[in-house]
Amino acid sequence: MEGNTLDTRDNKIIDVFNDLGVPKNLAKTLMYISKVEECRSSEIEHGANLRQPEVSVAMQQLTDMGWISKRNRKKEGKGRPIYLYKMETTLEDVIDHYEQEKLDQINTIKKDLKELKELIDSRKKEE
């Protein structure tokens, strides 16, 4: 979808993703792809205002997570293949993933703090 760009609301969502620890290039790529049915990486570069290496890294991460897929569009003649990318999940599922990740981190921190308090208490009792 040529001409599609991220708007103010998209940029606010990207900022919140970034506050949660999601790299900005990943969040921008994710937001762009979520707005189109499918697209080429060059469209993401333009629409999300990213450089080609940033898009490549983000695409690899999103593919590894199973959130996007790519297909080879048949092309006449020689030259580099053209890949089209599309979302394979919803933004709600992505948010659920990050929510669970953060809740797991919180639980780990709580467990570590509890253990630390117990260790300090047992040390005090020995003194």
Once rounded to an integer, what is the mean pLDDT over residues 122-127? 83
Distance between CA atoms of residues 111 and 113, nearest Å: 5
The CB density around residue 38, as the number of other CB atoms within 10 Å, is: 17
Cα–Cα distance for residue pair 86/29, rounded to 1 Å: 11
Confidence at residue 5, expressed as pLDDT on a 0 to 100 scale: 86
Tens digits of per-residue pLDDT, 78-121? 777 788 999 999 999 999 999 999 999 999 999 999 999 999 99
Q: Is the pLDDT of residue 26 over 50?
A: yes
pLDDT band, residue 1 (cuts 50/70/90): very low
For the chain, domain boundaries: 1-89, 90-127
- Residue 9 is predicted with a pLDDT of 94
CA distance 48 to 99: 24
Residue 26 in contact with residue 48, Cβ under 8 Å? no
pLDDT of residue 60: 94
Res 2: pLDDT: 46
Q: What is the pLDDT of residues 42-77, one digit of tens each?
A: 999 999 999 999 999 999 999 999 999 988 887 777
Name residue 79's amino acid: G
CATH class of 1-89: mainly alpha
User: What DSSP designation does 6 have?
Assistant: -
Q: Are 32 and 61 in contact (CB under 8 A)?
A: no
pLDDT of residue 63: 95
- For residues 70 and 85, is the Cβ–Cβ distance under 8 A? yes
Structure confidence at residue 13 (pLDDT): 96
